[in-house]
């Protein structure tokens, strides 16, 4: 067959990423990944469940949110005094949580830089000594903020407003993609989600070409020794930090695809 008659090679499909976040965060993550050139499959490791709760703002100087999920659950929280809860200064662990708080109707929203220590420092810089902070949180969250506020001389009153039940199995399509070695990216956004993923993975899953991206060293630990090609850790435990880490994985994948295509073209020229 002449060069002119040779059929063009089919372009390689985009690399596959598993979307491990629960809805509605999962849909937002999928949109971003697809905009960056990934194919996506849903593989939520938890499920968001708002709980019946009552949060009395009386006596509270301000409030704290340590996740966007807490902000999404807040409109369902009943409170004596109507809108007083949303009028409190609302301190959020990061910008993603702050965005969710604004969408939930909180009017005075400030964002810290990513973790409980930074959030406690931001609150302590503004709150009077001994002030009470109303902390809306999840059932499975850590007590880092409670401890950090106590160390700063502030009182935290915790109200559990949502739960995140763990997935009991991976969705069939995601499970099959892992077994076939097709997934190239698996991000995890908390130590708990990493532990759930580790429990759901099985020897049949081919992880030799899969990169896991963890939001923190604590989230990376449950993934060690599971067979991933490598485990990358975001430089900052934020949405921006995770996106930068996932971008780096995408650039490396594109380089490998380009080199493979160049090698195939060179081999065809020699034939």
Cα maximum dimension of the chain = 83
CA distance 44 to 64: 26
Q: Which CATH number describes the domain made up of 49-163? A: 3.40.50.10090
Predicted local distance difference test score (pLDDT) of residue 2: 47
Q: How confident is the prediction along the chain (271 residues), in pLDDT tens digits per residue?
A: 444 454 555 567 889 999 999 998 999 999 999 999 999 999 999 999 999 888 888 899 999 999 999 999 987 777 665 578 889 999 999 998 999 999 988 999 999 987 889 999 999 999 999 999 999 999 987 788 999 999 999 999 999 999 999 999 999 999 999 999 999 999 999 999 999 999 999 999 999 999 999 999 999 999 999 999 999 999 998 889 999 999 999 888 777 666 666 666 666 666 6
Phi, psi of 42 (to 5 degrees): -70, 135
pLDDT of residue 263: 65
In this predicted structure, what is the pLDDT of residue 141? 78
- Confidence (pLDDT) at 256: 67
73: Cα separation from own chain's centroid: 17
Peptide bond into 20 cis (omega under 30): no
Domain residue limits, the chain: 16-44+167-270, 49-163
pLDDT at 1: 46
DSSP string, 99-133: HHHHHTT-SSEEE-SSSHHHHHHHHHHHSPTT-EE
Assigned CATH for 16-44+167-270: 3.40.50.10090
Q: Give one DSSP letter per residue of 221-259, joined into a string.
A: GGGTTS--SEEEE-SSSSHHHHHHHHHHHHHHHHHHHHH
Quick check: do 16-44+167-270 and 49-163 share a fold? yes
Pairing of strands 90-92, 62-65: parallel
């Amino acid at each position: 067959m002449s060069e002119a008659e040779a059929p063009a090679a089919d372009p390689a499909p985009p690399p596959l990423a598993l979307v491990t976040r629960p809805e509605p965060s999962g849909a937002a993550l999928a949109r971003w990944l697809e905009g960056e050139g990934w194919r996506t499959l849903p593989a939520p490791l938890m499920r968001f469940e708002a709980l019946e709760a009552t949060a009395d703002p009386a006596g509270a100087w301000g409030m704290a949110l340590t996740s966007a999920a807490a902000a999404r659950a807040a409109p369902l929280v009943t409170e004596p005094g109507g809108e007083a809860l949303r009028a409190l200064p609302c301190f959020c662990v990061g910008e993603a949580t702050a965005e969710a708080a604004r969408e939930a109707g909180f009017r005075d929203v400030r964002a810290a830089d990513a973790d409980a220590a930074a959030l406690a420092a931001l609150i302590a810089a503004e709150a009077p000594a001994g002030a009470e902070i109303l902390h809306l949180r999840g059932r499975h969250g850590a007590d880092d903020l409670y401890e950090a506020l106590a160390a700063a001389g502030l009182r935290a009153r915790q109200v559990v407003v949502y739960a995140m039940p763990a997935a009991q199995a991976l969705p069939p399509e995601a499970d099959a993609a892992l077994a076939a070695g097709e997934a190239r990216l698996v991000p995890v956004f908390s130590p708990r989600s990493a532990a759930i993923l580790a429990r759901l993975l099985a020897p049949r899953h081919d992880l030799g070409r899969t990169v896991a991206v963890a939001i923190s060293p604590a989230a990376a630990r449950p993934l060690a020794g599971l067979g991933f090609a490598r485990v990358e850790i975001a430089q900052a435990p934020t949405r921006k930090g995770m996106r930068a880490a996932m971008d780096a994985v995408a650039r490396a994948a594109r380089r490998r695809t380009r080199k493979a295509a160049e090698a195939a073209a060179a081999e065809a020229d020699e034939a």
